[in-house]
Amino acid sequence: MQVRVRFAEPFWRSIGEREIEIELDSNTLVGDLIGLLTQRYSSLGQEFNEAPPVIFLGDEEVDRETFLTEDCQIHFVWPLAGG
């Protein structure tokens, strides 16, 4: 299945693109996608370890146990705190 992956600041700098499309097997979890991305882009793995992303599937916040669907859009956002 085809999935669009978007990266917010600063994550996109680790791979040099704000959005990529990736082919995945059906029944792939968000956690599986994260594992694949961090294998391909080691600097992204470092970023995710330092500041685990907030993950959105479409407009809904999800966790690593969420299944991805064909043509979905997943967005990794840097966690921010205000004050």
Long-range contacts of 19-26 (CB under 8 A, 24+ apart): 24/68, 25/1, 26/1, 26/70
> What's the whole-model pTM score?
0.91
CATH number for the domain harbouring residue 13 = 3.10.20.30
Give the chain's domain count: 1
Write down the pLDDT at residue 29.
98
| Domain assignment of residue 68, given as a range | 2-77
- In this predicted model, what pLDDT tens digit does every residue of 33-78 receive, in sequence order? 999 999 999 999 999 998 899 999 999 999 999 999 999 999 999 9
Chain centre to alpha carbon of residue 62: 11
Residue 29 lies in a domain: yes
Distances (CA, A) of 10 to 16, 25, 26, 70: 10, 28, 29, 26
Residue 20 lies in a domain: yes
Distances (CA, A) of 41 to 35, 37, 46, 77, 78: 10, 6, 9, 17, 17
